[in-house]
């Protein structure tokens, strides 16, 4: 298996998830809805946003998500990706304090032992929180907005994707150099 | 339900093998150092858009008689998309992962992402709590 799987194979296959879910049961591709459904299942706490019938609307998506988990686990075991990124990115990251380029994410930051360091806490805990908060606020993530929404020509999704980039670029060039 | 599981499994395997779940690839994307992630997103959108057109042209309907298609998102002031999207963008660059990849990373090699995933659930829960007071 070539690594990474080339974009012209991976991209179209990911795009086909949208019609596949429609044909299977007229379902809209969107991973972050699962977060809302899990909150509704685990701790609804009388909050209106979690008062929906998650079993009725979200069971299929939780099954999809468990498939994602198993598929990623098998793929990582059978053909672990080496992740050889551009030399330019390596130099830029080395300059701001990343030294381990061996895994899917830098071990200097993404390890249990760095959870209580400032950069580990910011990248893992604060970053995770913002992913959950931001996708719920925006009503979707990369799958729902950047793939399905854009493909359907929906203006709200374009606004969301502009936001994804604004936040990502600001973090990459202003925040990461200060915390890594 | 087995269909959803299998499509999900294929999606998870592709995300892993295309390395789209890697923090490094996300950095490469935001630094405009490689075409890889843009190629994936662009091709995915093109194929999804083409499929949606075909489905619409054929007038395909589901088992309940409803036409197949994505529900339209309400624009409103648009603020929630720009602000919520930007907040997610910050989280995306910090963790190097979207919601799907967070799950894939726990499954395939970076167990500490479980902490990020739990934190994401807390983030969604806090949004639900604050929702009545946030501009949309």
What whole-number distance in Å separates Cα of residue A97 and Cα of residue A60?
A: 42
Contact A143, A20 (CB under 8 A): no
What whole-number distance in Å separates Cα of residue A79 and Cα of residue A168?
A: 29
Closest CA–CA distance from residue A163 to any residue of chain B (Å):
4
Q: pLDDT at position B88, please?
A: 98
Q: Which residues of A touch B77 (CB under 8 A)?
A: none
CB contact under 8 Å between A164 and B42, yes or no, is: no
Measured CA distances, A22 to A27, B55, B68 (Å): 5, 9, 6
The alpha carbon dihedral of A47, A52, A54, A57 has a sign of: negative
Contact B21, B15 (CB under 8 A): yes
pLDDT digits (tens, 9 = 90+) for B69-92: 999 999 999 999 999 999 999 999
**Mean of all residue pLDDT scores within chain A:** 97
Q: Which residues pair with B61 in a beta bridge?
A: B67
Q: Is A7's Cβ below 8 Å from some Cβ in B? A: yes
For A36, which residue in chain B has the nearest alpha carbon?
Answer: B124
ipTM surpassing 0.95, yes or no? yes
For A92, which residue in chain B has the nearest alpha carbon?
Answer: B31
Q: Which residues of A touch B65 (CB under 8 A)?
A: none
**Half-sphere exposure in the Cβ direction for B120 (13 Å, CA):** 36
pLDDT digits (tens, 9 = 90+) for A9-67: 999 999 999 999 999 999 999 999 999 999 999 999 999 999 999 999 999 999 999 99
- Tell me the pTM: 0.97
Closest CA–CA distance from residue A24 to any residue of chain B (Å):
7
């Amino acid at each position: 298996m070539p690594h990474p799987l080339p974009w012209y194979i991976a991209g179209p296959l990911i795009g086909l998830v949208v019609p596949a879910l429609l044909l299977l049961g007229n379902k809209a591709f969107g991973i972050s809805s699962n977060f809302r459904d899990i909150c509704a299942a685990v701790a609804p706490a009388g909050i209106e946003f979690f008062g929906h019938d998650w079993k009725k609307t979200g069971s299929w998506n939780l099954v999809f998500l468990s498939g994602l988990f198993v598929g990623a686990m098998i793929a990582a075991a059978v053909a672990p990706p080496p992740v050889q990124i551009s030399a330019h990115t390596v130099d830029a990251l080395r300059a701001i304090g990343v030294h381990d380029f061996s895994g899917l994410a830098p071990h200097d930051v993404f390890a249990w032992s760095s959870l209580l360091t400032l950069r580990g806490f910011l990248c893992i805990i604060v970053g995770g929180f913002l992913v959950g908060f931001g996708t719920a606020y925006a009503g979707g993530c990369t799958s729902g907005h950047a793939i399905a929404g854009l493909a359907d020509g929906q203006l709200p999704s374009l606004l969301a994707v502009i936001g994804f980039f604004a936040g990502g670029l600001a973090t990459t060039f202003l925040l990461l150099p200060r915390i890594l | 339900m087995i269909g959803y599981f299998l499509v999900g499994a294929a999606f998870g395997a592709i995300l892993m093998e295309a390395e789209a779940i890697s923090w490094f690839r996300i950095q490469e994307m935001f630094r405009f150092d490689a075409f890889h992630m843009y190629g994936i997103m662009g091709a995915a959108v093109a194929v999804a858009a083409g499929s949606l057109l075909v489905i619409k042209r054929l007038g395909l309907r589901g088992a309940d008689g409803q036409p197949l298609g994505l529900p339209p998102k309400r624009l409103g002031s648009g603020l929630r998309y720009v602000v919520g999207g930007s907040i997610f963008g910050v989280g995306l660059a910090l963790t190097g992962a979207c919601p799907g990849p967070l799950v894939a990373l726990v499954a395939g090699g970076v167990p500490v992402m479980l902490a990020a995933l739990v934190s994401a659930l807390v983030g969604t829960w806090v949004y639900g709590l604050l929702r009545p007071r946030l501009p949309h």
